[in-house]
Every structure is written in structure tokens, then in C-alpha cells.
Amino acid sequence: MITKELICVNCPMGCRLKVEMEGKEILSITGNTCPRGAEYAAQECVRPMRILTSTVKIDHGTHRVLPVITDKAIPLDLMFKAMDEVRTVRVTAPVAEGQVLVHDLIGSGADLIASRSMEKN
Amino acid sequence: MRNYQAVIIGGGSAGLSAAVTLKKNGIEDIVVIEKDMEPGGILEQCIHNGFGLQTFKEQLSGPAYAERYVRMARELNVDIKLNTMVTKLTADRHISYVNPSEGAVTVSADAVILAVGCYERARGAINITGTRPAGVYTAGQAQRYLNIEGYLVGKKVFILGSGDIGLIMARRMTLEGAEVLGVAEIMPYSNGLPRNIKQCLEDFGIPLYLSHTVTKTYGRDRLEGIDIAQVGPDRNPIEGTTQHFDVDTLLLSVGLIPENHLADEAGIRMDPVTRGPVVDDYYMTSADGIFACGNGLHVHDLVDFVSLQAERAALGAVKYLQREGKARGNTIKVRPGEGVSYTVPACVHPEDPSGNVEFFFRVRKPMDEAVLEIRSGDKVLRTLKKRKLMPSEMERALITEKEIAALREEVTIAVREVQA
Amino acid sequence: MYDVLIIGAGITGTMLAYELSQYQLRIALIEKENDIADGATMANSAIVHTGYDPKDETMKAKMNVEGARRYEKLCRDLGCKYKTVGAFIAACGEEEEAQLDILAGRADRRDIPYRWLSGDEARAEEKNLSDNVTKVLDFYTTAVIYPWEVACACAETAVNNGAKLYLNSPCTGIEKTDGGYIVHTPEQDLLAKTVVNAAGVYADQIAKMVNEDPGFAITPRRGEYYVLDQDADFVNHIIFPVPSEAKGKGVLAVPTVYGNTLIGPNSDYVDDKDDNGTSFDGLAYVRANISKTMKNVPLNRSIRTFSGLRPTSSDPDFIIREDDEAEGFFHIASIESPGLASAPGIAAYVAEELIAKRIPLIKDPEAVMTREAPVVLSELSEEERSELIRKNPLYGRIICRCEQVSEGEIVDCIHRTCGAATVKGVKKRVRPGMGRCQGGFCEPLVLGILSRELGIPMTEVVLDSLKSRILESENRS
């Protein structure tokens, strides 16, 4: 049996989690203060997942770039591939917060959405 | 002179939350004064996620969190003056501001809420020697360039200070194709949230050098390199531990300081530890009718607490505005005891309590197991077991209205480490 | 062909250009850096010493007294800050008190006013003066200025009078011709009847271009400083320790024109003429030695450290003379302290006593020797500000909250004669970034304004030198 110690990244609380594993099988998770902590620990030991935040080029907006976020976590190992895709995205103002800009980003199942509204300049 | 019931200085997370609270409590004649072209404050450049879990039970990005409050403010018809800089505040609540459409104007207010935010410690405040070329930025500055203006400041990066903005920028710049060679932290422990150490550094294999600092910069035009060295317990560099890195960029994430020049010039009493105003349980400063909250009062770790504190300051202002000549009686001081660096608020009114009071404080050093003790004179009001305390994380402790009403002696909040 | 070509646009060179621009002369001012006042002028104690310190019968004494006498009017004419704060020379014990008598004697001979204070009397005026101070000599007419403001104003006025400024033009060689000199720079060759060497730490290298053995060598002497925040409320007067032969004027506390405090300098000889970085030992020396005269030093309110190089030479005096071999080639070298205070005296002396011998000085009736001061919004009344903002709304947008600088002032300083073309140039002229946040908030805004006003991409805006780019690349183009 091996014991993994993790810091939960779900929220800024940063709970210290302890996962006991045998091979790839999880035996116990302790230290979490909410159910999402346990989900996180289970996932983290298999394939770490993260929310991606970035910016995309926006035309005619009040700023040059628009902040964007994935609507759910995507595999950490796909971050750089996802970034390659994000770099090619170009949108036009106005944009509303939550508006989907890319469906199913690089096949991850997550949508890339606008982090804020931006008016036309 | 135009008089408002309340003027809120700053349209960031604290100011917007205060404005919404005032409106919801029937204070109609208010204005928020914001220096930027849009409300939201520093959150607009904090495009990462992790905001709003306490307030909205959701994981939001900074801009999305701000937008929720902007929407609430708009729905309540909060008047927000944009592109407007407050140039002067007086203790009798005269506010002078400048903007392109009105010129230079002075207004007065029955109550003022300072929600002015904080600024980053710059290079001059720390002991880095060497040249002063382009390529040295505060982390927040680089963040603004990247997330708002859309420019990358450099390609080979080192970061001094493990504050959260620096950690966030380590990940952000890595994802943008820059190479982040490391983060140096002068203390033997990290100053950022554990989750940021994990997902901003460890996820990308960026080394964290604890008990290290940047000692020297090289380059005449643009930064060409830096030296880092290990530091001893006195935080001075240890000879023979110097390592050199060829980098074109140094980001500084070495602390935040409440922006206090308005309060200072108004003669408001300041706390030398927080560097913000001293406030009572109503969040009122030493100047009658002037309140303070958010990062302009003391630096917070989470924006959710900024919003929460601003709500409380606004409620303090509401009570103040509705009060009719009632004496408030004595104040009892609340002081940081052993292991605690400050407490906010710094005093309470037993004869006129504002309600249950939650005290914000920070511990002086990391502690695995500790006991929080709240005393008034010889009497222990409460002891609580605490685990995993870090100076980078804000702690909270509650004293109930009933307890406050019964207070006769000074209160201390102490945290003692216990061996597990 | 230029009548006079001045090498070096520091305080000495710009002041001379200004002084000469009242005459019917064709003047060129060449500068190796990307802006005026980028060397020692940008990094010194900013004091107009009254002239008590230099020994009798020296050029230093003569120039200092003359310079100080001219400064106040000069600053008025040029619309520059001049603030009389007074200088306390603080003695600790009898031995040092005796030194004060020597300074008082020099002051008597030069008609410089002063007063005596006991230690306690001085402490009544300066709460942070050390308890060890026993006696104080107060040169109460001593003033502080903003050195680069004066240099910029001099250059601007000279150029408005017809002088030509060449930036990024290091002198790479000089040839003697029949009627004068050809001065080579990377971009152009400039012809001049007379040449003035005001090249600061490089004055010896320039001198060698016309004379293999010019008779002096410059060894830069570094001085490092802390700048304290405006709210540190530390001193009202300049506080000096008693000067010594070995250590010069010592570590001072200086209240600046804008209410900051300078603490420094140390004094370290360095080999590299470009090595203007701060050092661990240098700043440690400053920290240790300020306590000789001061207590409660709030170094935790430091917002910046900087260092400058004094052009110290083998000659303890200023070197202001025609070259021994090269006729019409003049040196203004070894201008260390009190060089800033002496600059107007030096300019007049060089014009009237040196250049006049080679070229007749005929007053130009068209020359305007005054300058309209730039608008400083924070110094105006509410009515004046509103009036200005009505005419130009850019004055209503405050860019730097620490120093309350408006966009209008920044745009003005970019478009003035000899205007700012860099972030540091803007900072030098109108102060955004000088305050406690050191540009944390305003630098991106200043950069945007420079980009817009100069019509260049954001990525081409520089901090100071041509190669000091601030932004690496456009992200998401």
C-alpha cells in the first residue's frame, strides 16, 4: 500500500488530503472538508484535471484581449495543446460573460467561455 | 456643495459590495468613485479561477466575480463615477475628485467608505542590488500587461517572492510560452496559498527556492541576469551560496500594502502593522463617519472576504447614518496576543455593540497544531484548536454580541503552537 | 559649421548650451544616451550648496559661490522648482566642532550667511537628529532643486533659441581641421569651430581624442542612496555630518523638492564608467553611517535605491580650461560635488572667460531666456483645474495616483521641445512612477500614452536607452 499526500486545488482552502492506494486502486481518502475534495483526490491519482484560464484576441472590444475560462476542468497533460487552440481563437465584440466561444475544446468535453462581458468600443 | 448620504471611494470588489449593501439597506443617495474606465478594480486582471466559493458557492474567474457585483450595483441603480480620481479627503468628509467631464469637484458626505485597495511593494522596498534595466516588474504589472493590454513582458523569467500573484503569473507565463526558471522566497515557508504552489509551480515543474532571495540584477538596457542566494535566519544572504540565472525578466511578488495616502492625509490613525487605518467594530476609522474595508484596510487572501468585510463596513455606515445622537460609550481594545501579528477590527463598543464581530487576523509563523485563545483580562472567552496555520492565510475568530456587551477589559487574540 | 559643440547633455552641458544660447552662436549639444540628464545629473543629492565647503582659492569655491548666487533667479526664469530648506552641519564633540569653525571662516570670507545652534536647539527643529550631535552650523540659504528638471529646462530653452540637440550620439572620434574640429558620431560628422568637453565620467576619454596626455584621468566614484516615501516625515533641513578630507561630505539626509527624503551617499571608486548599479556593501555603508547624525531612520519606508557616478579625477579641483594643445577645445572635467550647485557659475565662466577669447559673443536680441513652466495640475486651485479640464479633458484623467499626474501633463511633456520619448523620460519630467508604487499602476498607462503620441507600437516603447524595451511581444496578434 502507498500513501499519497495531496493539496486540494478545488478552492483556495487548500485542504491537505491523504490518499491510501494499492496499485491503481484507492482505498481511502482523508483530510477533505467537502465531497469535492474526495473527487479531486480520486481524479488526481489517476489523471490530474485543471481549469484553464487564458485570453483570446477580441476585435472592436474595449480591450485588445478577452479573458476566457474552460467551463470544466480539462486534463493537465493537455494544457499546452489546449493553449495552441486558444491562441487561434478570434472573437468580435460585443461578448457576454459565459458566452461559449469554442465548443468541446480539443475534444476535452469542456467549452471555452468568455470570463467577462465586453462591449463594442 | 453637493452632499451625499455616502461616498464610496473605489469601485473594486470592496466598493461595489459596500454600495450594494448600502442600497439594500435604504441608503439611496450614494456614489461610487472609481479611477479606472470600468468598475471591478484589480479583479479585471485576475483572470484565473478560484473566486467566489464563499460568496456564490461557485468557482469564478476574477472578471466574472466582479461582473456579478457590477450587475447587482446596476440593478440597484448605484451611481458609479468612472475615470474619476479622488485627490483629497478631509476628516470632516469633504471629498475632492477630478475627472474629464466634471473637472475638479469637491463634494461632502454624511459617511465615507474607503475601499481603495492596495499596491505592490516595489524593488526599492527590498534589498536587490545592481543595475536598474528594463525587465523588472511587479507581478501585478506583468499581469496587467498580459491580461488587459495583451502583451508578454519577457521570455526567460525568474520570480522573487511566493505571493499569490507571482505564483499565478508563473503558470500564466509558462502557458504563454515563457520559461519560468524559478521562484525564490526569502522566508523558510511559502507566502502563497497551498493550492497555488501545487497548481502553478508543481504542475509545471517550476522550482521553489525557500530561504532564498535575489541579491543582484545585471544588464544595462534590458535585464540580462540575476543572482540568487540562500539566506540565514537573519534573512541576510549567506556567502558562497550564490547561483546565477540568465533571465530577461524578474517579477516581484513581495507583498501588498494598503493604499493609504488619502486616509493618511486626512489625519486618520493608521496601524503600523497592517499599514491601513485602525477601525472599530463598525469598521469606522478614527475620523467620525469615515469607514474602511477591503485591501485598503488590510490585505486579504480571498476576495470573498473582501466582499464580506465591505458588507459589514457598509452595515456599520448604515447604523451610523441612522443613529441619532446616541452616546456610544466606552471602547474596549482588541489586541494581537502571542503568535498573532494584527487583528481587525481593533476595538469594540460594549455599550453599543455592532452585533457579533468576526475578527480577521494573521499568525506570525506557520504552525501545524495550535490553540487559539481569546481573553479579556484574566478571563478566557474561548479556546479553539487550529490546524495548519500559515501567515499567508487570513484567520477569523468570532466574539458574540452578548460577549461583547459583557466586556470590561482589553481583549487579546493569541495563537499558541502545540506539539502534536 | 557650428560655433560651439558641447559633448554631454548633463547639467553642465545643458546649462552651458542655455547660457550660450543668449548669443548669436550656432550651438550643437551631443549626448550619447537616449535622453538629457541620464548620467550623474540623474543621480546625486540635488543640493544647491552655498559654497562654504571648498577650500579657498579653488575653482570649486569660486564656481560654487557664483553658481549658488545665480540659481534662484535661474529656476524662476526656467519655471523650475527651487526650495530653500537650509543645511545643518552637525558636529558630535569638540573635535568636530573645531571643524565647524573652519567652515564658518570660509563662509565669512565668501559672504555666505549662517547661524549657530546648540545640539538641543537643533533637535528642537529636527526631531530625528542624533542625541550625539553637540553643535550645528546652519547654512540656512541652502536649497534643493530637481536637477534633471533644470537640465531639461536648459536644453529646451537653448533648443528653442536655435541650438541643436543630438541624442544617441556618442562622440567616437575628433579630428582637428584648419578652422576647428570634426566630431564623429555613429550617425553624423559634426563640424565646429570650438568644442566643449562636458562628458562627465568620460571626459578623460574625450580629452584623449585631441591630446594624448590631457593631464587628467577620471575614476568614477559611486554614490548610493535610499529614497524614502513622502509620508516618512523624517527631516526638514539637509543634515550633513562634519565633512572630512577622506570621506567627503559623508552620508546625508536630504528633504527633496517633492517631500521625499534621500539618505546617502557612500563613496566607492569603481573601474567601470557604466557601473551605476547599487551594491550590497554600499547600501550597508549608507545604513550604518546615517546613524552618525540621525536617529529613528525609517529605512523601512524606502521606495527606491539608486546610485550615481561622480566624475572624480586625479585633480582635487574642477578642471575648467582650454586644452594645452588643442586650441578652441575646452574641458569642463572633474565636476564632482559641488558640480550641480556650480553649474550656472561654470556656464558663465566658460562662456565669458574661455569661449569669448576664441569667438566673439554678441547678444542675440531674439533669444528668449525664460521658459513657460509646464502645467502642474496638483499645484492648481480647483477652479484653475476645472478651467484647464474644460479646455482639454486629458487634464481630467489622472494617470499616476501617487503623484497625481494627469494625462494632459504627460502628453505635454512628450510634445515639448526636447520632450520625453521614453518611460523614464516622462518620469523625469512630470513624475509618474516617482511615488510609492514606483509605477506599478501607471507604467502600463504611460507606455500606452507614449505609444499613441509617438505613433509607435507598444512593443517599441523603451524604458530609457534604445535597447531597453519593456514589452517582449504582442500576445494574441
DSSP assignment string, B250-285: EEE---EEE--HHHHHTT--B-TTTSSB--BTT-B-
How many angstroms separate the CA atoms of B171 and B204, rounded?
Answer: 7
Instruction: Please confirm whether the linkage preceding A67 is cis (ω < 30° from 0).
Output: no
Q: Which fold has domain C1-81+144-217+314-373?
A: FAD/NAD(P)-binding domain (3.50.50)
Residue-wise burial string across B214-234, b where 16 or more C-beta atoms lie within 10 A, e elsewhere: bbbbbbbbbbbbbbbbbbeee
Quick one: DSSP state of residue C55? P
Residue-wise burial string across B337-365, b where 16 or more C-beta atoms lie within 10 A, e elsewhere: bebbebbbbbbbbbebbbeebbbbbbbee
**3-class DSSP state for residue C426?**
helix
Strands B85-89 and B49-51: unpaired
Closest CA to B68 of B57, B56, B59: B56
* Chain C from 213 to 232: CB within 8 A of any B CB: 226-227, 231
Residue-wise burial string across B27-37, b where 16 or more C-beta atoms lie within 10 A, e elsewhere: beebbbbbbbe
Asked whether the beta carbons of residue B50 and residue A11 sit closer than 8 angstroms, the reply is: yes
Same domain, A40 and A59: no
Which residue range is the domain that position A35 belongs to?
2-46
Residue-wise burial string across C341-353, b where 16 or more C-beta atoms lie within 10 A, e elsewhere: bbbbbbbbbbbee
CATH 2.60.40 in chain B is located at: 328-420
How many angstroms separate the CA atoms of B348 and B359, rounded?
Answer: 11
Domain B328-420 falls under CATH 3.30.450: no
Domain edges within chain C: 1-81+144-217+314-373, 87-140+218-309, 377-460
The CATH architecture of the domain made up of B122-254 is 3-Layer(bba) Sandwich (3.50)
Closest CA to B193 of A12, A44, A11, A6: A12
Q: How many domains does chain A have?
A: 2
Residue-wise pLDDT for C118-168, tens only, equals 999 999 999 999 999 999 999 999 999 999 999 999 999 999 999 999 999
Name which of B38, B47, B150 is nearest A53 (Cβ-Cβ). B47
Q: Which chain C residue's Cα is nearest to B173?
A: C475
Determine whether C49 is an active site residue. Answer: yes
Which chain C residues touch A57 with a CB distance below 8 Å? 476-477
**How many Å lie between the alpha carbon of B199 and the closest alpha carbon of chain C?**
23
| Options C49, C184, C237, C331, the catalytic residue | C49
Residue found under cell 463598543: B349
A-interface mutation test, from C459, C476, C477, most A Cβ less than 10 A away: C476
For the domain C377-460, what is the CATH superfamily, name and number?
BFD-like [2Fe-2S]-binding domain (1.10.10.1100)
Which residues make beta-bridge pairs with B384? B372
Q: How many CB atoms lie within 10 A of CB B301?
A: 18
Quick one: DSSP state of residue A118? B
Residue-wise pLDDT for B269-322, tens only, equals 999 999 999 999 999 999 999 999 999 999 999 999 999 999 999 999 999 999
Name which of C390, C398, C475 is nearest B146 (Cβ-Cβ). C475
Asked whether the beta carbons of residue C473 and residue B152 sit closer than 8 angstroms, the reply is: yes
Average pLDDT over every residue of B63-75: 98
The CATH number of B1-120+255-326, from 3.40.640.10, 3.40.50.300, 3.50.50.60, 3.20.20.70, is: 3.50.50.60
How many angstroms separate the CA atoms of B39 and B72, rounded?
Answer: 12
Same domain, A9 and A35: yes
How many angstroms separate the CA atoms of B367 and C339, rounded?
Answer: 57
Tell me if A63 is assigned to some domain: yes
Name which of B44, B50, B67 is nearest A12 (Cβ-Cβ). B50
**How many Å lie between the alpha carbon of A59 and the closest alpha carbon of chain B?**
12
pLDDT at B327: 65
pLDDT in tens, chain C (477 residues): 999 999 999 999 999 999 999 999 999 999 999 999 999 999 999 999 999 999 999 999 999 999 999 999 999 999 999 999 999 999 999 999 999 999 999 999 999 999 999 999 999 999 999 999 999 999 999 999 999 999 999 999 999 999 999 999 999 999 999 899 999 999 999 999 999 999 999 999 999 999 999 999 999 999 999 999 988 889 999 999 998 877 678 999 999 999 999 999 999 999 888 888 899 899 999 999 999 999 999 998 899 999 999 999 989 999 999 999 999 999 999 999 999 999 999 999 999 999 999 999 999 999 999 999 999 998 999 999 999 999 999 999 999 988 999 999 999 999 999 999 999 999 999 999 988 888 888 999 999 999 999 999 999 999 999 999 999 999 988
> Global pTM?
0.94
Which chain C residues touch A55 with a CB distance below 8 Å? 475-476
